[in-house]
Amino acid sequence: MAIMTTTSSLAFQPVLERIAEEIERTPGRGRPADYIPALAACDPRRFGMAVAELDGTVYGVGDWRQPFSTQSITKVFTLALDLAREGDSLWEHVGREPSGNPFNSLVQLEYESGIPRNPFINAGALVVTDRLHTRTGDAAGELLAFLRSESGNPALGFDQEVAASESAHGARNAALAHFMASYGNIDNPVPVLLDQYFRQCSVAASCADLARATTFLARHGIRSDGSRLLSRSQAKQVNAIMLTCGTYDAAGDFAYRVGLPGKSGVGGGVIAVVPGRCTLCVWSPGLDERGNSVAGVAALDRFTTLTGLSVF
Ligand code: GLN
């Protein structure tokens, strides 16, 4: 039975503390991503978790104020920023189906004529960043400005070491971009796009920052200043794609265990949305073989089980 019989905010802190204690006792945390050398040195025992209410009040535990590498979590924000500008024509260039393949897979692209399955695998995110860059002239800068304003943290920035490390080991993302360019699905020169994409992935932010920055999705598209970024329907669509595609080829298991729209990154962070109620961000750098944080998913699983807060 859920321990929070009401959804009173004050009840969040004890729930977070209980989860942190349980995680602390759990052996086996997975391994940090090693294909990006700058991430490989992270200690897998680090753990932080934050919950943000719709008004931006944040509760947290552990390393919840420690900045980490956001990586693919940023794909949610670039999707929202591009969708807000171009609307449904985006879907002529990227699909909305789970891929059932690893996040950096090339195989489906040839069968499906250079149209990636969804915006959250790397190929799809490259398309979204390309389109946002065409519209704004600075996709990564647009993303950073949005994250700074929604998190209320003007100090957020790119981690140059992570961006350089990814660029130096970016052959697979370069292959994805060139391959899609051969189908006419990329507008900008590939080196320009890759620079934008690697900077986007390198943003360093904490659980508190990301939980706050995600609240527009729990507020059905309304930003922290009360202006609207996405229509109610578009916010629903982004949440739906997070649920079905946000954790790659583990999205079915994530829905089964957590029951919330979520998005992971290989830095070990995961964000999740309880529409109309709150947002969450959890960080622990040890990953499973699909690139999702082991302790992060376990903590979200415990949160929805203990509170009963889920979309199901
Ligand atoms: N920057 C990483 C990459 O392109 C992002 C992947 C991820 O977080 N899943 O490989």
If you measure from the C-alpha of residue 167 to the centroid of ligand 1, how many angstroms do you get, rounded to a whole number?
11
pLDDT tens readout for residues 235-280: 999 999 999 999 989 999 999 999 999 999 999 999 999 999 999 9
Cα dihedral: 171, 203, 278, 238 (round 10): -40
Question: 110 labelled as ligand-binding?
Answer: no
Asked if residue 4 has pLDDT above 60, the reply is no
71 ligand 1 Cβ < 6 A: yes
Is position 197 annotated in a ligand binding site? yes
Written as six digits, the tokens of 241 are 């794609």
Please report where in the chains the tokens 């990564």 appear, as a residue.
Answer: 140
Q: Please, what's the b/e burial string for 138-164 (b: 16 or more CB within 10 A of its CB; e: otherwise)?
A: ebbebbbebbbebbebeebebbeebbe
**Any catalytic annotation for residue 75?**
yes
Architecture of domain 9-307: 3-Layer(aba) Sandwich (3.40)
Listed residue (124, 153, 159, 123) closest to 140, CA to CA: 159
- Other CB atoms within a 10 A radius of the CB of residue 26 amount to 13
pLDDT in tens, 165-211: 999 999 999 999 999 999 999 999 999 999 999 999 999 999 999 99
- pLDDT cut 70: percent of the chain above it: 97
**166 marked as part of a ligand binding site:** yes
Find where tokens 């949305």 sit. Answer: 273
- Domain residue extents for the chain: 9-307
pTM higher than the cut 0.85: yes
Residue nearest to atom 3 of ligand 1 (CA): 122
Let me know if 248 is a catalytic residue: yes
Residue 122 CA: which ligand 1 atom is closest?
A: 4
Any atom of ligand 1 within 6 Å of the Cβ of 292: no
Active-site residue, 263 included: no
**Is the shortest distance between the CB of 244 and ligand 1 below 6 Å?**
no
Ligand 1 centroid to Cα of residue 197, in Å, is 10
**CB distance 197 to ligand 1 below 6 Å:** no
Task: Provide the 10 A C-beta neighbour count for residue 220.
Answer: 18
Provide the pLDDT confidence category of residue 2 given band limits of 50, 70 and 90.
very low
Looking at ligand 1, which atom is closest to the CA of residue 267? 8
SS3 label, residue 277: coil
Tokens of 206: 């904490």
Q: Does any ligand 1 atom lie closer than 6 A to the CB of residue 103?
A: yes
The CB of 291 under 6 Å from ligand 1? The reply is yes
Q: Which atom of ligand 1 is nearest to the CA of 73?
A: 8
User: According to the model, what pLDDT value does residue 6 have?
Assistant: 45
